[in-house]
Chains A and B, each alone.
Chain A
Amino acid sequence: MAKKSLNVNGKRVSVTYDDPQIPLLYLLRDNLGLHGPRFGCGLGQCGACTIHVDGVAVRSCITPLATVSDKQKVVTLEGLGSPQKPHPVQKAFIDEQAAQCGYCINGMIMESAAFLAKNKKPSDTEIKNALANNLCRCGTHARIVRAVKRASAQA
């Protein structure tokens, strides 16, 4: 069993592992008890596991621990905001009631937050393209686009 120090949601944390190739997702969920990033495919195809590493949206299910340094800032949905103090994107998702089962929503919010940081006033088409590799099965897409638009208008 080995140990590694990480910066997660602004805090210095330590994770233990047997296999340095373990995807970050499993450590965040099982070691650190975070529920934001979700297992969806383990293949980087659906986006449910999305987190930020230094502000960039990455798929934590295919990001081996070995590739993340202790100096990089890892942020999960929990680190973005809380029910009491939601991030503007989270607030917009609540205002638009942009969830059905909500299982994919972590990825939608993390992807959108990273996207809006670069593109402050996107068109609907740009939002749809930015989310093109995030899958939702319940069919919440229309509300999600409205929520991202709302967040951008308030930024």
Chain B
Amino acid sequence: MNIQISRRDALIGSGALVVSFSFARSLTAQAQGATKPVALTEVDSFLAIDKAGNVTVYSGKVDLGTGVTTALRQIVSEELDVPIMRIELVQGDTLLTPDQGTTWGSLTIQVGGMQLRQAAAAARHALFSEAAKKLGTDQLTVADGVISGGGKKISYGELIGGKKFEIKLDPKQPVKEKAPTEYTIVGKSQPRVDIPDKITGRFTYMQDFKVPGMLHGRVVRPPAIGAKLEGVDDGALKKIPGAKMVREGNFLAVVASSEWNAIRGAAALKANWSKSETLPDQAKLWEHVRNSKVAKLEEYGKTGDSAAALAADGVKKMSVTYDFAIHTHGSIGPSCAIAEFKDGTLTSWSASQATHNLRKQLAQMFSLPPERVRCIYIEGSGCYGRNGHEDAAADAALLAKVVGKPVRVQWSRADEHGWDPKGPPTLMDMRAAMDAQGNVTAWEGDFYMPQQTPGGFLVPLVAATLTGMPAAEHIAPGNVFQNSAIPYKFPNTKSVCKRLETTPFRPSWIRTPGRMQNTYANECFIDELAAAANMDPLEFRRKYLDDKRGLELLDRLAKLAKWEQRPSPQKGTIGNIAKGRGVSYVKYELVRTYVGAVAEVEVDRATGVIRVPKFTIVHDCGQVINPDGLKNQIDGNVIQTVSRTLIEEVKFDRSQVTSLDWESYPILKFPQVPEIVIELIDRPTEKPWGAGEPSAAVIPSAISNAVFDATGVRLRSVPYTPAKVKAAMQSHAT
């Protein structure tokens, strides 16, 4: 499209924009690596334009399989008026890309994308300003990277091609961006740039990546967490060509010239390990969690005096407990990494969502200055949080160091299920009081979750722990306190996060960490209060909300889901299959994306099996960049979380994880997948917020509330296995 921009407009709000093209330095690919800035305050950190007018975007945020890099290209394409197909994107390379923070927390568009938008806007202003000089007019239009004015044309490639912008960015003085009313690319569904190659087997995942001369490593995992390697017989290894044992402390592995020989070699080792029983009895997990030492109490959402209101006479008091099982990430492709030590520098290729943090950790492990470590992101199988990628990177680096050659480590399925860090067990005690008119007079929640130790989110690397090499001792479950406080305006409220000193497994964040568990308890419990007040659960929520966008969302949800207004449970259901519907609502972290969900369920009273035939979602994340990509993400949130809610639970004995494959840790299969109806509320003039996680937060509660509507039975323990459902129905009946 053509946009009329005068030079005066271009400079309004341009803040610290300094137009000074440096024509001296040319950016060959090699020199680029050596001289390219990565500071967040430089346009050149984010963008380069070559002589042909092709744009390279440098993104510290990476594509974890969400398609977000297509959306990032859209943002830059829109701001610069350059077609998407002429935009390349380099991601997550500590040498080349700015540190925009870990790719987590639904922040890639909201934070990373907005940094790119600013850089592109600043570049555009500079290009226009320069074009005005060259063309001798400030009445300029642009289309496809070519600026026209006064009957003449000049391309971005001619203006800047191969040279640096040398423009500073100052977040305190943002550059004026294109008006959303002018958008033609942002807000329109854009086919993903990676899909054709993925569909035809041409895409290079981390698992496909190779470097010349690399060997393959396979780690032999201890049979128990904390077990010591007491001895190993590698006699059988002689029969496997090229296979060699590596033993460093309690780290045991085989390196070979082919992956299969490494696998065979690892199986051929006869290792003796000491007995180690560090885990609690799974049958008493919740007792264990409740009795774990509290390292810190954090209070959120305090209003009034909830203790006094709960102790008051003449109110109805309710007190219930929810729990949420330990989950594994379960990427379909197990973690994989390659490492190479060369000239005193470690290069690590992995699918880490946090290459800048991984660099810190590898530098610490090998006692190297961080600048001697380069971590390069290569997209792997879908990543939903801190899984095993960083650990595979540490395995590969250790083996590469020992054998003096590049080594690739591909984790097995059992490695992935057994040794990725886990979503920690979460326990939630909820209390409330209600007056005779059904008004909530007090609300309290105690949330038991692991502590976040100060200093960062560096989940300890398994290889560092096994070898005794220097390592971070962090307990890092992520910002799991979020959404413990509620969006509802009750008079006396308090949410307390009991941050536990220890948790059974190395914790980390899995999609919607904490927000999912906390929202589950809060949104089930408000449903319990609605039922106690004999009110429609959606209307009950509306009564206590004063947020315009939240209220609009719930109205649209009621309409879309054809919500029938009545209290739950429904009356007079008969037959073996009980049907019901449940609602849930979240304002993510109480400051951003709004999601409302209605679940429709069918409960088989005889078997306790829950089916979820349909989910209806209304989603408001402000400005939408790629509607189709967003819907794909919402589908993913719904389906993955239905799986987590109905089925998933890590099983373990006193020594280790015992659910080491897809039979013992199953996930949702095609016949169980719900129909999903989605309405997006696009607000082009608002900020774009995240969407990778928020719609997952409402799924467990919506299902539990629907089961209550169908059967009158409350499910307060995720996953809702048939055994738990049957037990709950039996105790309800008696």
Contacts and interface: CB of A to CB of B under 8 A. Distances in A.
B640 A103 contact: no
Contacts of A78: 200-202
A83 B200 contact: yes
Contact of B675 (A38, A77, A86, A142): A142
B194 A138 contact: no
A144 B198 CA distance: 14
A90 B195 CA distance: 10
B662 interface: yes
B333 A48 contact: yes
B264 interface: yes
Contact of B201 (A40, A76, A139): A76
A128 B671 contact: yes
A41 interface: yes
Contact of A19 (B192, B264, B379): B264
Given A94-B199, A135-B669, A19 B260 contact: yes
Contact of A97 (B191, B667, B670): B191
B637 interface: yes
A38 B209 CA distance: 12
Given A19-B264, A35-B204, A139-B635, A99 B198 contact: yes
A109 B200 CA distance: 9
Interface string A60-71: 000000000000
B661 interface: yes
A128 B332 contact: no
A112 B643 CA distance: 23
Contacts of B32: none
Nearest to A129: B671
Interface string B200-231: 11111101100000000000000000000000
A90 B200 contact: yes
Given A39-B410, A43-B662, A138-B382, A143 B198 contact: no
A36 B205 CA distance: 10
Interface stretch (B63-71, B77-85, B135-143): B63-71
B202 A1 contact: no
Interface centre among A19, A131, A142, A145 (most CB of B within 10 A): A142
Given A43-B661, A48-B332, A97-B192, A139 B200 contact: no
B400 to A, nearest CB: 19
A42 interface: yes
A40 B412 CA distance: 8
A17 B240 CA distance: 11
A46 interface: yes
A40 B199 contact: no
Interface in A130-154: 131-145
A55 interface: no
Nearest to A131: B670
B331 interface: yes
Contact of B662 (A29, A46, A86, A143): A46
Interface string A23-49: 100100110001110111111011010
B382 A23 contact: no
A122 interface: no
Interface string A4-35: 00000000000001110011001001100011
Interface in B616-640: 628-629, 632-633, 635-640
A1 B260 CA distance: 13
B670 A128 contact: yes
B207 A39 contact: yes
B261 interface: yes
B201 A143 contact: no
Nearest to B243: A18
Contacts of A77: 200-201
A74 interface: no
A95 B204 CA distance: 21
A123 interface: no
A138 B661 CA distance: 17
Interface in A80-106: 80-83, 86, 90, 93-94, 97, 99-106
Contacts of B450: none
Interface string B318-335: 000000000000111110
Nearest to A136: B332
B199 A102 contact: yes
A35 B413 contact: no
Nearest to A36: B201
Contact of B200 (A1, A17, A82): A82
A144 to B, nearest CB: 8
A18 B256 CA distance: 12
Contact of B198 (A29, A76, A81, A102): A102
A36 B202 CA distance: 7
B613 interface: no
Nearest to B201: A36
Contact of B195 (A17, A102, A109): A102
Contacts of A101: 64-66, 331-332, 379-383
- Max chain B Cβ within 10 angstroms of own Cβ: one of A39, A43, A94, A132: A39
B241 interface: yes
A83 to B, nearest CB: 5
A40 B195 contact: no
A23 B260 contact: yes
Contact of B670 (A34, A40, A141): A141
A11 to B, nearest CB: 15
Contacts of A41: 413, 661-662
Given A97-B628, A104-B332, A22 B260 contact: yes
Contacts of A128: 670-671, 673
Contacts of B412: 42
Contacts of A42: 412-413
A46 B195 contact: no
Which of B200, B202, B633 is the most central at the interface, judged by chain A CB atoms within 10 Å of its CB? B200
Nearest to B258: A30
A100 B201 contact: no
Nearest to A102: B198
Given A43-B413, A83-B197, A102-B198, A140 B635 contact: yes
Interface string B74-111: 00000000000000000000000000000000000000
B635 A142 contact: yes
30 contacts: A18-B241, A18-B260, A18-B261, A19-B261, A39-B207, A40-B334, A43-B413, A45-B413, A45-B661, A76-B201, A82-B202, A83-B197, A90-B200, A99-B198, A100-B65, A100-B382, A103-B207, A103-B332, A109-B199, A128-B671, A129-B671, A131-B670, A135-B667, A137-B381, A137-B384, A139-B635, A139-B643, A141-B635, A141-B639, A141-B668
> Which 3 residue pairs across A and B have the least CB separation, nearest first?
A101-B65, A139-B639, A36-B201
